[in-house]
Every structure is written in structure tokens, then in C-alpha cells.
Structure 1
Amino acid sequence: MKPSNTIKELLDILNSNRIGGVPVVDDKGQLVGMVSDGDVLRYLAPKPLGIAGLVYIIEEQ
């Protein structure tokens, strides 16, 4: 995955491969970071939520 990929592309990769995270590489193939499904949830809901809040976020996508 590249830093320029979208959140939608990330979710498609995670879902289609049934994985929870992927490495992020630059144009030279060097590792620059990791991104996970948890990162996406924290991005979408930066404040603490209960289970009901997470279910709402998941259903809205």
C-alpha cells in the first residue's frame, strides 16, 4: 500500500484479504509505516465510544 492510497482502497484490501493491517511503502518499496483496521476506526471516531457507537459506524459504511 502507498501513502497516497485512499481509506476506501485500504478497506477493500483489508476486507478482500481478510487481514487487519498492511505495510505502507514509498515509491522505492521502503517501509514507511503500517496501517490497521484499528487506525481507521480511531480516525473515524477519535472520541471514546461504546460498542453501540462502533456498530453505528460500521453500519454507516
Structure 2
Amino acid sequence: MQLNGEQKEADGRTITQIIEEMGLKKVMVAVELNENILPKDQYDTYVPKENDVVEIVQFMGGGSL
């Protein structure tokens, strides 16, 4: 699979496991799977396949300049 622009092994981990291994929290990320947003209720069950393209982005808080 391609994860955030890098080729990785599709080794049976769920999206939740990948997020946790990245040191992120599920509530603070959005996951795009093959150019579609993956619903949060699928993070625990979806296992990326070899040809999947996954982008995981973290929400950042901000303030005014």
C-alpha cells in the first residue's frame, strides 16, 4: 500500500493500528482511502490492501496571527 506517499507493506494491520503506530489519536485524524474519506467507524475493521492509497492527516489547532 502507499501510506502518506511512501510504499509500505500491507501486512494485515487495521487503520486503527496504523494510526496508533504513528503515535496519533483516532479522534484527531482524517483518513483518505483511494481518494475517498474513510468513515471513522471503519477504522477498527478496515485492513488496507496491497494497491490501496492511504493518506492520514492530523488535525492541528491554531490561533490568530
| Greater RCO, CA 8 A, separation 6+ | 2
Q: Quick check: which one's strand share is greater?
A: 2
TM-score by length of 2: 0.28
TM-score by length of 1: 0.28
Q: Give the greater-gyration-radius structure (CA).
A: 1
